[in-house]
Chain A
Amino acid sequence: MSVTHDEARKIAQLAELDVSEDALPLLAEQMSRILEYVAQINSVPASEGVKPFVPGPDAVRFRPDEVKPAPLAFGPAELAPAFRDGFFLVPKLGQFEDADA
């Protein structure tokens, strides 16, 4: 499984991750190597009848639907890079550039 530079670039866009053009060749090569290694599971015969294994409780337990104060020592204003009047501030949405994606 060889990942091309274009594929690596596309995956990085899907993952919202900036990857410089200089870093792309090594990243594509390492991704290829990892994907080649993990693809060995396909040598095991099809196991369609196997029930998926999910650890943890058999059924999801629900909490009572009660309004409680948030158990936080301090609020988002102290955590956020930019916060005003109860809102997280972010730069405005630019043009969607995914036409090339």
Chain B
Amino acid sequence: MSDPSEALASARAAADRILRVKRLNACLTPIKELRKSLVTQASAAHPSGVLYGMPVAVKDNICTLEFTTSCGSKILEGYRSPYEATAVAKLKAAGALIAGKTNCDEFGMGSSTEHSAYGRSLHPFDKARVPGGSSGGSAALVAAGAVPAALGSETGGSVRQPASLCGVVGIKPTYGRVSRYGLVAFGSSLDQIGVLGRSVHDAARVLSVISGRDPRDATCEDRDSLRLPNVPESLQGFVIGVPKEYFPQDLDPAVRRACDRAIRLLRELGAAVREVSLPHTPYAVATYYIIAPAEASSNLARYDGARYGPRFNGSADVRALYRTTRGEGFGPEVRRRVLVGTYVLSSGYYDAYYRKAQQMRALIAQDFRNAFDRGVDLLFTPTTPTPAFKAGEKLDDPVAMYLSDIFTVTANLAGLPAISLPIGRIKGLPIGGQLVGQAFLEDEMLEAAYALERAVPAGEEA
């Protein structure tokens, strides 16, 4: 596309499609505002850009100038950022159109998009179920065909898990591949902006655009943008490890069947597949749910009603202002995590929890290094232990909700790239398979994903 009239038509069509799936509560931007902005953006977009005219929705915890950034939270209701995320600026420079802000669990804390102050998002194929989270709005919009791609963010699997549950592709890049500037911080040593797309190619080309160095983020590596690989004829020469810890006895039978079929297809494509062990995997969720809340309790200290966002109980003294604003502004899951994070960092508990978790994180990262050092190029696992679960099913049991992330948190803890792609269905509900790559070798991971995507009958019952 290089014709301004086509970009304009693309903008209008995107607004129409988003309106048609309004019932999903996936897009938080009012449709009138969205339509107007899309038309303005299309008129100003760069026709030479590689994403010219492509509508890309953006998770509500990534700062944009066009729309509010509420992070799915009452404490940032109506907040307009005075700057935009580098990833968003890069998208616009490539000619993409920012197609509104997507619903998410508050500050990215959740696995179902039920923890949003703006209501839950619905699964696109079964309204009684969740789309996953925290980037559930982004996943639902892509799965419903409203946009070809959307930005999400990951701290423990918040792109891959909803991608898996909604039947789309989700990529979490290597930590440091994409700038975090303008991504509202949750767990800074884990957070990364990721991409959800209809296909590996759609997601990969958006990732390629947003990747690369950024002097505004000291944790962003000084590297060129990701170069997209070609679609390979075969996977001859690839060694793919299958970690046995990701296939427990109680794994959902349909997920196991879909994974077995995907592994068979990887072999048929020419890859050598071998079983490997990542022995510290069983401790990953526990490790994650110490480190992430600890970092969150620190990052979220800035929300106090003094500098931005709404203020609750403004007439009290300043301490009461802080406490009331935070008490009323944060939802139940954020409150829980801030308290758990404060607890594990407090004097007397720091060594038993936080310090130990840091050691466990190192052991988990070492597990991956050991597998890769033994000649494995990539790992294949299920993305989630089950297909999409029912709304409300895990709301009263935080630990049960946390276990939804059991196969995804390890890549965040180890800073590695990973991709989820559809590998089958059970009773119409999508099942996702995950490839985990070596740091900064997204190109290899994408090659294998391209090949598997072409081979796998993703719409077929497992």
- B interface, over-half SS: helix
Shortest Cβ distance from B316 into A: residue = A91
Is B335 a contact of A17 with CB atoms below 8 Å?
A: yes
Bound-complex Cα distance A65 to B399 (A): 46
Bound-complex Cα distance A3 to B323 (A): 21
Bound-complex Cα distance A17 to B311 (A): 14
Is A41 a contact of B360 with CB atoms below 8 Å?
A: yes
A69 interfacial by beta-carbon distance below 8 Å: no
Q: When the two chains form the complex, which single residue of B285, B307, B322, B414 contacts A53, counting CB atoms closer than 8 Å? A: B414
Is A81 a contact of B363 with CB atoms below 8 Å?
A: no
* Interface flags, B204-228, vs A, CB<8A=1, else 0: 0000000000010011011000000
CB interface residues, A 73-99, toward B, < 8 Å: 73-76, 78-82, 88, 90-97
Query: Which residues does chain A contribute within 8 Å of B358, judged by CB atoms?
Result: 52-53
Is A27 a contact of B314 with CB atoms below 8 Å?
A: no
A14-B342, A47-B363 as given contacts; A93 in contact with B308, CB under 8 Å = no
Interface size on A, residues (CB 8 A): 57
A47-B362, A57-B219, A81-B305 as given contacts; A42 in contact with B340, CB under 8 Å = no
* Interface flags, B221-241, vs A, CB<8A=1, else 0: 110000000000000000000
Bound-complex Cα distance A34 to B322 (A): 26
Bound-complex Cα distance A60 to B222 (A): 11
Is B221 a contact of A35 with CB atoms below 8 Å?
A: no
* Interface flags, A12-43, vs B, CB<8A=1, else 0: 10111111100000010011011101111110
A54 interfacial by beta-carbon distance below 8 Å: yes
Is B307 a contact of A18 with CB atoms below 8 Å?
A: no
Is B314 a contact of A11 with CB atoms below 8 Å?
A: no
Is B286 a contact of A73 with CB atoms below 8 Å?
A: no
Query: Which residues does chain B contribute within 8 Å of A74, judged by CB atoms?
Result: 82
B350 interfacial by beta-carbon distance below 8 Å: no
Query: Which residues does chain B contribute within 8 Å of A94, judged by CB atoms?
Result: 316-320
- The CB with the most chain A CB atoms within 10 A, among B309, B343, B364, B402, is that of B343
A18-B326, A80-B307 as given contacts; A41 in contact with B286, CB under 8 Å = yes
A67 interfacial by beta-carbon distance below 8 Å: no
- The CB with the most chain B CB atoms within 10 A, among A47, A72, A81, is that of A81
Q: When the two chains form the complex, which single residue of B82, B221, B336 contacts A31, counting CB atoms closer than 8 Å? A: B336
Query: Which residues does chain B contribute within 8 Å of A8, judged by CB atoms?
Result: 339
Q: When the two chains form the complex, which single residue of B82, B218, B356 contacts A75, counting CB atoms closer than 8 Å? A: B82
Is B362 a contact of A52 with CB atoms below 8 Å?
A: yes
B280 interfacial by beta-carbon distance below 8 Å: yes
CB interface residues, B 256-279, toward A, < 8 Å: none
Bound-complex Cα distance A52 to B364 (A): 11
B249 interfacial by beta-carbon distance below 8 Å: no
Is B307 a contact of A79 with CB atoms below 8 Å?
A: yes
Q: When the two chains form the complex, which single residue of A18, A41, A47, A79 contacts B324, counting CB atoms closer than 8 Å? A: A18
Question: How far is the CB of B354 from the nearest CB of chain A, in Å?
Answer: 10
Bound-complex Cα distance A75 to B80 (A): 11
Q: When the two chains form the complex, which single residue of B323, B343, B366 contacts A18, counting CB atoms closer than 8 Å? A: B323
Is B215 a contact of A63 with CB atoms below 8 Å?
A: yes
B353 interfacial by beta-carbon distance below 8 Å: yes
Is B339 a contact of A88 with CB atoms below 8 Å?
A: no
Query: Which residues does chain B contribute within 8 Å of A88, judged by CB atoms?
Result: 306-307
Query: Which residues does chain A contribute within 8 Å of B366, judged by CB atoms?
Result: 50, 53
Shortest Cβ distance from A74 into B: residue = B82
Is A37 a contact of B82 with CB atoms below 8 Å?
A: no
Shortest Cβ distance from A38 into B: residue = B286
Bound-complex Cα distance A57 to B213 (A): 11
* Interface flags, B333-346, vs A, CB<8A=1, else 0: 00110111011101
A30-B336, A50-B359 as given contacts; A55 in contact with B280, CB under 8 Å = no
4 pairs of A and B residues whose beta carbons are closest in the complex: A18-B327, A94-B317, A55-B415, A55-B175
Binding site for B on A (CB under 8 A): 3, 8, 11-12, 14-20, 27, 30-31, 33-35, 37-42, 44, 47-48, 50-57, 60-61, 63, 71-76, 78-82, 88, 90-97
